[in-house]
Structure 1
Amino acid sequence: MAILKMISTCHPTKAGNNATLKKCINYALNPKKTQNGLFTGASNCSTNSALEDMIRTKQFYGKDSSDKNSRTGYHWTISWSPEEHVDYYTALEIVKEFCEKQLKDYECVYSVHTDQAHTHCHIVFNSVNFNDGKKFRYEDGDWAKIFQPELDKLCKARGLHTLEDDTGMSNKEYYKTQAMHQKSTNKKKNNSDDIAHEKNTTEKKNYYSSQPKQRNGKKYYKKRRGNNKYYNEKKESYTKSEFIKKDIDDAILSSHSLSEFFMILEGWGYKLRHGKSEKYGDYFALTGRGMERARRNYALGKGYSLESIKKRIELKNNPLPEYDVPAQIDMRQFIVRYVYWKKPKYNDNSILSKRVCVLMYKRGILNKKGTRPNYYEIKKSLKKIREYENNIDLINEYHIGDVDSANAAIYQIDSEISKLDAERKNVYVERMPYKELLKTYNEMKKNEMAYYSYENGMTEHKEQHDRYIELKSVLNKYGFSDSEIEKYQEDIKTELKRISKEKRQLKNKISSINNIKDFIDENVIDAQKVEQEYENIPEPEEYQQKQEKQQENKKEKTI
């Protein structure tokens, strides 16, 4: 039987965007393993210039990204057991036909390696579609639904065993029992399953192993290769590192020396650790409340090394220079955003808005004493605050005070949605006369890459080259240039996206207003009681002190 293994994906590294892809291609086409290139082949490219062709396609469609999480290519294998004696020529026919059917729109190289006891093939293909520029997408379960059945079909046509013949299990059953055991939990590789089960294989852990290992009597956590140190934080709008940077900025503004700077950070609940690095010299590491790992200051970016922090403290405490003496400033300026709050003010008639504000205070969402919350408290509260703020905005926008006014607001929003539906219909009606034009243009663009490849000497694209010329002549009869057609098509897409976005926002408003209706039903509003509770909400201590200072300054000016 033949088994398809999806063994790895290629990602950009420090060595280059396509260094991993180059390594896989060189391994697959290794002359020592393929009898000097006898058992090699390629589809939509040449074995001599496969990497250059793949890079050219990426650049043509603007998909040559340096992001470590992007995929530049895929490496698959097809292998037979040693008991099933499959000759190399038959294996080459199978892998060639497999690539032409399942990877027909991708540039790929394939080979049969003859250096092992069992016959096996290697496939390396580009992640970018040759014709339309779209990236290859593997859905969970495609191995059992598409790829392995196609391989079984090719083997059966040549009198070879299929997976079901030797295992007694269907592809789906084999996938569940074997492939799922091999599936990684790494977010970078969650779509690339290892299909073959290997003995003594342990399930991959998260970025750091859960159990520390010992080295020279010290505990350490093994770092898994190829992952990003702060991968999970990159998706968050407000990360732990940014939180620490803002606290460091605040501490610099409040301190007069480096020792006082460290005392302030410790007073805010940070655990401080000093160390020395061969590359960065002296450093300090901070561990905040709720944080498992420390952050070193030099990893926070420019302006956060010990020397930079010293200069910033000195610069803050130095007097301003004389008029004719230039200021020596060799650092970036920082904007500090405080996390304290101010009690919102609403009109006297917006009782429901004040009721929501009182509820936020009672539930502890508003910071009662103005103390510095930690990172996790902020993340937890921000979601609730945004929800309440959105409800307050809707209450004021549509003058919602009871269930009837809420129903009237929903009716008004429904009418706006109907108008958007009419606009979208008009866009489709206006596009109808140009439907054939756009269809011809898109097909021509699909064959454009093949046209240029044929012009550069790749004769296997002759059919697509001729088709491109034919479609180009048809478009010339319409009297529009390529740029005009492209602009018209982009304008249509932009307009449809705008309509969809506005419609989605209106539907979200309806959902929020329905929540407000439930809130009104559960809480019978007593206007006088709400006014009294709202006035009793205290201002934060810091805000009160600021108000007192402003009043004192005003008195001094008047005197």
Structure 2
Amino acid sequence: MAVSKIWPVRYSLKRVLDYAANPDKTEKKDYSDEQYQALADVLSYAENEEKTEREFYVEGINCNPAEAREQFVMIKQQYGKEDGIQAYHGYLSFKEQDITPELAQQVGMEFAQRVWGERFQVVVTTHLNTHHLHCHFVINSVSFIDGKRLHNEEKAWIKFRHIADDVCREFGLYYDPNPDYTKQNSYYYHREKAGIPTRYSMVRENLDEAIRGSRNKMELMHRLDEMGYRYQLSANRKYWTVIPKGYNKPIRLYKLGEEYSNEAIMRRLNENYDRLGLRPFQPAVIVLRQYRLPTREDKIKKVGGLNGLYLHYCYKLGYLPKYQQVSPRKLHYIFREDWLKLDKLTAQTRLLGRENISTLEQLFSYRAKIDSEINSLTADRKLLRNKIRTKIDDGELSEAKEQISFINERLKALRRERNLCDGIAERSDEMSRNLATAIADEEKTKTKEVKQHEQQR
């Protein structure tokens, strides 16, 4: 199957049309600068001869490729739709390395004709500068037939894969009749491979934890509710989905792996039915001996104020103490999203400790001090830049540039501090609520454990 993709071109398009059209044909006419720049960029990218190693193939559908820019804009002006997306840029890359340029261009033309040829102008090019030949498509965003914009399935590239498969099969090229659509996004795949937690890895861990403690779907939904998840696990749905706390976009569970399809989850729940909730006939006698010793958490609680709040939060996230790191799966569910933001939280904590800030008033006072210094340094930098523009000797010029460089570095540091202050002011209330929720849940768990021990005794 040919690898394919499409994306809109709104503003910077010069590299694209010159990559697909002859640069000698880009003389400016009576179009606005923004329109001309947009279409010129996309066509120049598709026709740039410097990015090809041997030869270059260019053809047009419903347009002359040498005059594509002018003809695209003419249609937009005719229907009064010069604003917005100027064109769409796509590509079709072939798996075979022995395919001829002529065949690749023929396949690209056939594909573009079937998808857009009835209503839109298209420039089709074939590039030979990589190991895999690939076709580029530049499609006018406005139809020359009725003036309507490219919309819905005409720009939904996921719908085109079937047409691409059909064309490749007809021309005797490779295609995958049963592609694996459960493959994870490469960005998340490489992050997880490097050991970096992602949204998907956190969902897997939470699901595994919820499934391990559930015997049926009702118990699973109850545990997901406790973890702050929204979900759609109806038997009538083809794909079950969940939405983690703090997100709006649902995740189809089957994309997390083979063990997370609808059937696999039900199988895992059924396996738990006989395992969970069973107790021995002769309960063991447990003698409780509790000794209340002061802990690091108790010491942190005594700090108080914003600094104490952040220290306590870092402790609950497992960041403190550093010599005893906590696995994310052992954290309370309400802290798992914030565990991904440890770098920012620790930077804010260090700021509060360094400046000895305990209240919001002290925080706002420190932020006002930063703003004052930023304004002063900005004024000094402006004076130095004005001085550089005057006629001064080399020694004074070098000294002024060094001072500007020093001011720039100081401004970067101050702006980072200001952003940390803003983050503290925004997050402090939410952190207090999260801590209260986690502590309440811990108290409930301790109460249940005490009752269980008493019953066993």
In the superposition, the TM-score normalised over structure 1's length comes to 0.31
Which has the larger share of helix?
2
- Compute the TM-score of the two structures, normalised by the length of structure 2: 0.36
